[in-house]
Amino acid sequence: MSDAHASSGPSAGMAVVAAFLWATYFFFVLALTPGTAPSAVFAYPFLIAGVVYVAWAAFWGHGRAVAELFLDPRAWVRILFLMTMQLSVLACTYAAGAVDTSLLALLGDAAVTPLVAMAILREGRHRARSPAFVGGLLLAIAGASLTIVASGRAAPFRGWTVLIAPLVPLSIAAFYILSAREGQRRPSSAVVGEATLAAGFVGLVIAGLLPGGWHGLVLTSATQVVLLAGVAVTSFFIAPALYFRAVARSGIVLPGLFQVLIPVFALSLSIVLLHYLPAPLGLVGIPVAVTGGLLAFRGAQAPAPPTSRDEAMLTEGGTLAPDAPDDPTDPGSSGVK
């Protein structure tokens, strides 16, 4: 096994776990509905996860970096994209359900993010010359789409949701690419932790503009508190923490590929939790998506070197600022040659 593949294994594992935890978000939201106001579902997970995230960053000695980010105008641009992402995902979950919204998230993670990184930012473009990477990416998206469409759960986006839906993949790509780029200078725990906590504070301020308003922030049952804390820890803290540690080791393209599993996990959870049985053709899409993701993952191990140091930092990993002592700090320590 080559050093590059040895380095990719842990990154793949972290990305897969992150995909599963992000898939659970939709079911936390559905479990909180209709007794919990959307204003609370939006603000509290950010606030709770932000406190945990910042505490984690401080534990590793990155508290000063968190404080500096609150004064950085670029950080507020990322916060805007983060809040746009979560508002659009929440709105689409209410309107279209878990499985369909997860497909939009798939497009943002596995399609828009690597395409923007390669085509617009000119990073990792050598991967576009790999038939395995391109074919695997298309196969993965096709398989996930088949799972949704053949299951008869797709296309309930109507009216205002048609305008909101495109914001999901676009804001996801913008937030994660900008955060990964900032992670070249600061630890991702500080970058994402500050954005998450700030989004929570802003969420409390703008709660009056959301359904349920400020009155909706009053929680009336222990179940609401437990569910909100659960989604905060899983989808808002652990999932992005794992994702960005994977980015630090392998670059932003490879972890994004494994997000093709989000709709697969969402459908599987629908079967278990909602007792929804998809059509047989819908189940065919699951192995197709997984096979495509694995093919693209192998194809992405293209040996062509990046053309600049910035490209190496974002797309090949290993030079992002470390979160913990065992995180890579240069291409040699990451195993990426």
Q: In order along the chain (337 residues), what is the average pLDDT of each group of 10 residues?
A: 52 89 88 90 96 94 94 95 88 66 60 61 58 78 70 54 71 83 86 96 94 93 95 95 86 74 79 73 73 73 53 50 58 34
pLDDT value at residue 321:
56
pLDDT value at residue 284:
76
Cα gap 177→181, rounded to integer Å: 6
Q: Enumerate residues 6+ apart whose C-beta is below 8 A from 292.
A: 135, 136, 137, 138, 139, 140, 141, 142, 143, 260
Q: Enumerate residues 6+ apart whose C-beta is below 8 A from 81.
A: 171, 174, 175, 178
C-alpha closest to that of 56 among 191, 200, 183: 191
Assessment of whether the complete model's pTM goes beyond 0.85? no
- Helical axes 73-96 vs 98-106, angle rounded to 10°: 140
Q: Are 133 and 61 in contact (CB under 8 A)?
A: no
Cα gap 226→230, rounded to integer Å: 6
User: What value does the CA radius of gyration of the chain take, rounded to a whole number of Å?
Assistant: 19
User: What is the number of H-type helices and E-type strands within the chain?
Assistant: 17, 0
pLDDT value at residue 141:
75
What tokens appear for 30 in the block? 């559905």
Neighbours of 274 (CB within 10 A): 13
3-class DSSP assignment, residue 159: coil
